[in-house]
């Protein structure tokens, strides 16, 4: 494929509710949407590491700089022999996986259009029926949390994820378990604990959680290995896994039993598939996590979730979940916690323009 032009579009959509994690509160959804022009088509990709560098060192401004300064010049006007060729072309850039993924996903979208194949088939998916879970931010009180869980269960969500942090963990989880003894329940700690908290975290074992996501440091896999041998709740790594090789090392060290694959964090869909394959071979489960993408990015999470080793419900945000308006039509909506990967979502360019903060046009 030959790319003639790349538009780097910074979008900012007001959110209809505040999402609070141990990183802080978010009220606006900032994203980098990439529009590529080539082979007689236009296609869209997206990645969003949050506006500030709180999830990783990347942020919206670093993405713009890296795409404009380095990724676009490396591929515009050149013939790319598929997605693997794109990885080779941008391999000289260290890290910056969200920036790479924003462009990479647009290339998958382009290939999907060129070949007339839905994304989920293109990535090698096997089952278009996708289970959807919900991730609930830190709530002002346990009662407020219980109410939210009740509402989401009534909507049909297949799995509930709650955020925990030191001081808001044992009591919260035990109250949730008492109220909902049998639901599929997991916790995400977003790196807010240290190995010295092992005894506290082991107290969560009795609540038969589906998994505990990223309890320890963002750059750690060694201590996670020690923690996993001290607790029975399966550890799921998120922030620690950036490459297929990170996944291999974490598995060798026994640092996790599950890996959450966020395509932005790992540089795109091809690396996501590679990590999936390594995990499947080693009996490590996967699921698709998210960064509150717009519908443009949700399409890629839906596609990945059709791969055979995506065994757990995905964090796919429906269009009405956080955004006052989404950028795709039809809206992304689940039915009793299920999505059909065959649904085609078209990018609504009028809404895209409405929520655009700035655009950089890159040409040869």
Question: Is 262 marked active-site?
Answer: yes
- Hey, which residues between 225 and 244 contact Mg ion (CB under 5 A)? 238
Would strands 346-347 and 356-363 be described as parallel, antiparallel, or unpaired?
unpaired
Cα 140 from Cα 145, distance rounded (Å) = 8
The single residue of 64, 100, 163, 257 carrying the catalytic annotation is 163
The residue of the chain with the least Cβ separation from Mg ion equals 238
What is the nearest approach in angstroms of Mg ion to the Cβ of residue 245? 20
The H or E element that residue 36 is part of is strand 24-38
DSSP state of 2: B
Which lies closer to Mg ion via its Cβ, residue 46 or residue 188?
188
Interface region with Mg ion, contact rule CB under 5 A, candidates 44-52, 111-119, 188-196, 267-275: 188-196
Cα 35 from Cα 37, distance rounded (Å) = 7
Which lies closer to Mg ion via its Cβ, residue 109 or residue 188?
188
List the beta strands (DSSP E) in 164-319: 185-188, 212-213, 235-237, 258-261, 285-288, 314-315
What is the nearest approach in angstroms of Mg ion to the Cβ of residue 295? 21
The single residue of 64, 257, 262, 301 carrying the catalytic annotation is 262
What is the nearest approach in angstroms of Mg ion to the Cβ of residue 21? 8
Residue 276 · residue 244 · CB < 8 Å: no
Please name the residues in contact with 151: beta carbons below 8 A apart, sequence gap of 6 or more: none
Number of amino acids touching Mg ion (CB under 5 A) = 3
Cα 71 from Cα 91, distance rounded (Å) = 10
Question: Is 336 marked active-site?
Answer: no
Assess 315 for contact with Mg ion (CB under 5 A).
no
Cα 301 from Cα 239, distance rounded (Å) = 17
Assess 188 for contact with Mg ion (CB under 5 A).
yes
Q: Which residue's entry shows tokens 């996986």?
A: 97
What is the nearest approach in angstroms of Mg ion to the Cβ of residue 118? 28
Interface region with Mg ion, contact rule CB under 5 A, candidates 27-35, 199-207, 212-220, 321-329: 212-220
Q: Which residues bind Mg ion (CB under 5 A)?
A: 188, 213, 238
Could you list the active site residues? 163, 262
């Amino acid at each position: 494929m030959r790319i003639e032009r790349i538009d780097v579009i910074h979008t900012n959509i007001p959110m209809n509710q505040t999402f609070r994690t141990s990183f802080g509160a978010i009220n606006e959804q900032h994203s980098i949407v990439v529009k590529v022009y080539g082979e007689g088509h236009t296609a869209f990709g997206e990645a969003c590491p949050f506006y500030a560098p709180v999830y990783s060192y990347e942020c919206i401004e670093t993405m713009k700089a890296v795409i404009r300064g380095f990724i676009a010049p490396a591929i515009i006007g050149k013939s790319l022999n598929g997605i693997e060729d794109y990885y080779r072309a941008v391999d000289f850039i260290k890290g910056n996986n969200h920036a790479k993924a924003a462009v990479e996903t647009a290339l998958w979208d382009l290939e999907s259009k060129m070949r007339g194949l839905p994304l989920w088939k293109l990535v090698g998916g096997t089952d278009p029926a996708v289970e959807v879970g919900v991730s609930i931010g830190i709530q002002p009180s346990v009662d407020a949390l219980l109410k939210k869980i009740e509402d989401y269960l009534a909507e049909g969500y297949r799995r509930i994820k709650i955020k925990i942090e030191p001081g808001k963990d044992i009591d919260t989880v035990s109250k949730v378990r008492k109220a909902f003894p049998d639901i599929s329940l997991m916790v995400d700690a977003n790196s807010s604990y240290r190995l010295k908290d092992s005894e506290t975290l082991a107290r969560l074992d009795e609540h038969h959680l589906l998994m505990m996501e990223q309890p320890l440091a963002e750059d750690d896999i060694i201590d996670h290995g020690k923690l996993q041998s001290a607790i029975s709740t399966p550890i799921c790594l998120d922030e620690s896994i950036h490459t297929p090789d990170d996944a291999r090392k974490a598995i060798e060290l026994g640092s996790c039993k599950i890996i959450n694959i966020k395509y932005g964090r790992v540089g795109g869909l091809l690396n996501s598939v590679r990590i999936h394959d390594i995990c499947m071979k080693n009996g490590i489960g996967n699921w698709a996590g998210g960064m509150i993408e717009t519908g443009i990015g949700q399409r890629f999470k839906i596609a990945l979730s059709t791969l055979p080793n995506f065994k757990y419900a995905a964090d796919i945000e429906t269009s009405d979940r956080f955004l006052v308006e989404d950028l795709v039509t039809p809206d992304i909506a689940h039915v009793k916690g299920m999505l059909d990967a065959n649904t085609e979502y078209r990018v609504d360019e009028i809404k895209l323009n409405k929520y655009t903060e700035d655009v950089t046009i890159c040409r040869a």
